[in-house]
A and B are shown apart, each in its own frame.
Chain A
Amino acid sequence: MRDIIITYLKANVVTGFGVSDKLPFNQNGEPLYLQNLKSLYVNQPTVEQEPLFDTLDAQAIVTETTIVECYVVTDAKTLPSNYDELVTAVKGVRQAATILGYTAKEVDTSTSIVDDTLVTQFVMEFTKVKT
């Protein structure tokens, strides 16, 4: 899933922004995305399962949600003029033609201020049925 999202972002990223292949690990005490502004970092997916149907012969059916977090940091004092365009492009991952078979897709966006930077976090959730 992470590779698919990175490929999608690289094909759809807006001018002035980049997409890193690296995980957003901490280097010298702070995550990479705080050190490399205007570069999108995609974290490793986490997977959650919830029961959908329990059956008497133990063919338990679950919904499996794959959650991928993505980060990008910009200057908080002067927001890039195409910031909104970037957010729209990243949210467009829901419609990526290469992400198929999921019954629910959502992308939540949140922001926070760290020193003089704006950290934008995207939480992408893709849900499908597993038997």
Chain B
Amino acid sequence: MANYIYPAPGVTDVEATLKLQIQADSGNNVLTVPSLQDITVNAANDTFQWTQLDEAAKKTIATTSTNSLSMNLVMNTTTFFGTAGTGTTATAAGIMGMSTQKNLVEFELYLGDDSTGGTASKTLSGTGYITGLAPTVSADSPVWVSPITISMDSDYTIT
């Protein structure tokens, strides 16, 4: 069977997992983000194009990449607002706190296991800023949910 990556929700080492920590935190306190609904990994290379008289097609070179992670999550009080709402650690500040404090955040996104089982899957990591929080609730959908984007200032590291 092909080596597809298909995370199994709720299964340790097989579910997709996102971990965050504030880069300046020497204690490496990690916040595992729960209740993610979806994750999109964006790696968009910018390009520079030009034409020249001896070519029928445009020439292109890749320049810099705009990288980001986009997700939607169901809000969990403890992780979204942190244990203190502010602070120098990820669990104290929470997602909202790290956004308002404009902390540079290190992330690790474990993609989930592949079809062979075990812990063979890949992890994407990098640094960025938490942006795009927009919590919403409605009578038809009476649980708070929010989009979240990590706008990266680095390349992805794949391990």
Contact = CB atoms under 8 A, between A and B. Distances in A.
Interface of A: 52-59, 61, 103-104, 129, 131
A55 B34 CA distance: 9
B142 A55 contact: no
Contacts of B45: none
Given A53-B74, A54-B9, A59 B35 contact: yes
B9 A56 contact: yes
A97 B40 CA distance: 44
A56 B145 contact: no
B36 interface: yes
B9 A104 contact: no
Nearest to A63: B142
A104 B140 CA distance: 8
Q: List the 7 closest A-B pairs by CB distance, nearest first.
A: A58-B10, A58-B9, A103-B142, A55-B35, A56-B36, A56-B16, A59-B35
Contacts of B139: 103-104
Given A61-B143, A103-B142, A129-B143, A56 B15 contact: yes
Most chain A CB within a 10 A radius of its CB, from B10, B38, B145: B10
Interface string B21-61: 00000000000001111110000000000000000000000
Contacts of A131: 143
Nearest to B18: A56
11 contacts: A52-B141, A53-B35, A55-B73, A55-B74, A56-B16, A57-B9, A57-B34, A57-B36, A59-B35, A59-B74, A61-B74
B24 to A, nearest CB: 27
A61 B76 CA distance: 12
A123 B30 CA distance: 50
Interface string B1-29: 00000010111000111000000000000
Nearest to B33: A57
B142 A56 contact: no
A53 B7 contact: no
A55 B7 CA distance: 11
Nearest to A53: B74
B29 to A, nearest CB: 20
Given A53-B35, A57-B9, 6 more contacts: A55-B35, A56-B7, A56-B38, A56-B39, A58-B11, A103-B142
B16 to A, nearest CB: 5
